[in-house]
Structure 1
């Protein structure tokens, strides 16, 4: 039974099910195994949590809606109402009516010409916005690829999760590091960082046999799952308070969080 469960977990069906890529038969198989085996349920819950971590750090705003702009412009178009001309018995009255009709026709023609010019400009705007949307789609596809890569890294069995919480100097500080020594990758998720004075910043370091190697600056305004340099044989991770812009040497007396990696 255990071999059957392990084979199912290694098949990748859970991941496909989570992102909606399973067919009817695969969906039925996954849901049956989730309901039947607690090990599968736990693995599914873990995948859901990891996907939420990746998704919340890669929020994307939806593109502007083109159709509303066109409808707003069309709503502003004037409406022309034509009144029926009364019949006159005298010939000169018909001449006056004909002249008025000519003027109305000329005015209507000019109005249509103006509207055509306006629509031509709007069509050009639509074309330009379509090209912008294509650029947005390409950008979003790249972001989606990044999200899937991060999702795979989080679910890799060789990836270790380290939670770093602040000491008394930064009680609300919390970050999560994901390190894979096999693929030599490191990711960090900034969950919360207490606000610092403008002239200070948080900096993360790797302890490499007593030598502190900078892995970058952490910012509350940059709360997303992101890659940090992987350091071979690092013994620990430290977060310190440094002058704005970062420091070349770690101020260990200003350490606010630390965790052992060995």
Structure 2
């Protein structure tokens, strides 16, 4: 490496010197230039000041245990010097103590960063779960409000379809709004059917049964098709998925509309 003044200033050699990355020969050359060249001395002073400032701004206090261990080692080094004066060993002990200090600090910092990262991931997972729960609650709230608004509407009339002898336990509450053309049924009291059959609702219009839809097995409240000019509502048991015409002999309930 050329140690001319121009190269030293342009190629970052002074920074390498401050960081201790130069060879002993190169360090000696820089020290000689520092004593003989005011520009080099001034530039070194600026670099050292900047490095010191960066170090102080980014310093992180390690756990108390690290400091205690360091002071103990320094104290032991001092006692060793008193028993057997040896300047070289003394400063070597100090250097080793600082090296251990920075090593322990780095390990501690790495551990803390990993812990923070794990905590951050847990927070994100919790946030996502809470967001899903909130969306579910909001959807349920909106759905409930929709049903309540439809059922409590002053134009909505209530009709109860009670089971006949073929299904005496059956009871269906229907809500009909001719103004908004809505039919809602509460199927909570319908007896369960096997997987091969479904309940189906029909509207009688001038003697013709018109399909209003299959009643779902997993819903207590559901909207059925509104049929104009319906004279009655009827429930039959049909093959799973529904039928294109009612099975009259399997009629379990009906009610006449006003």
Normalized against structure 1, the TM-score is what? 0.58
Correspondence for 2:65 = 82
**Alignment partner, residue 232 of structure 2:** 236
Change (3 A) 1:114 1:222: same
Aligned to 1:98: 98
Q: Which residue of 2 aligns with 1:250?
A: 246
Shift of 1:95: 4.8
Say which SS state the counterpart of residue 191 (structure 1) adopts: coil
Partner of 2:143: 143
Task: Summarize deviations over 1:118-166 as a string: whole Å, max 9, x none.
Answer: 455456556756765775576456435514422432xx1x322111121
CA distance in 2, matches of 1:81, 1:239: 78
8 Å contact kept, 2:150–2:156:
no
Distance 1:165 1:148, change over 3 A: closer
2:185 paired residue among 185, 188, 207: 188
**3-state DSSP of counterpart to 2:65:** coil
Q: Distance in 2 between matches of 1:137 and 1:197?
A: 32
Which residue number in structure 2 is paired with residue 110 of structure 1? Answer: 110
User: Which structure carries more relative contact order (alpha carbon 8 Å, separation 6+)?
Assistant: 1
Determine if contact 2:151/2:175 at 8 Å carries over to the other structure. Answer: no
**Structure 1: gaps of 5 or more residues:** 1-79
Q: What is the distance in 2 between the residues matched to 1:191 and 1:124?
A: 40
Aligned pair 1:174/2:157, yes or no?
no
d(CA) in 2 for partners of 1:117, 1:237: 62
Does structure 1 residue 163 correspond to structure 2 residue 146?
no
The answer to whether the 8 A contact 2:203-2:210 is kept is: yes
8 Å Cα contact 2:197-2:239 kept in structure 1: yes
- The residue number in structure 1 matching 2:11 is none
Which consecutive unaligned segments of at least 5 residues does structure 2 have?
1-62, 81-89
What displacement does 1:256 show?
0.8
Larger Rg: 2
Question: How well do the aligned residues superpose, as a CA RMSD in angstroms?
Answer: 3.0
Separation (CA, whole Å) in 2 of partners of 1:137 and 1:191: 22
Deviations 1:182-226 (A, max 9, x none): 3332221112221222211111111111100111112331112x3
CA drift at 1:234 = 1.3
Matched with 1:61 is none
Whether the 8 Å CA contact 1:174–1:190 is kept in 2: the answer is yes
Q: Contact 1:205–1:239 at 8 Å: present in 2 too? A: yes
Instruction: Report the CA distance shift for 1:241/1:136 in structure 2 as closer, same or farther (over 3 A).
Output: closer
The count of residues paired between Structure 1 and Structure 2 equals: 179
Instruction: Give distance in 1, aligned partners of 2:204 and 2:175.
Output: 16
Q: Which moved more, 1:229-238 or 1:110-119?
A: 110-119
**The residue matched to 2:102 in structure 1 has which SS?**
helix
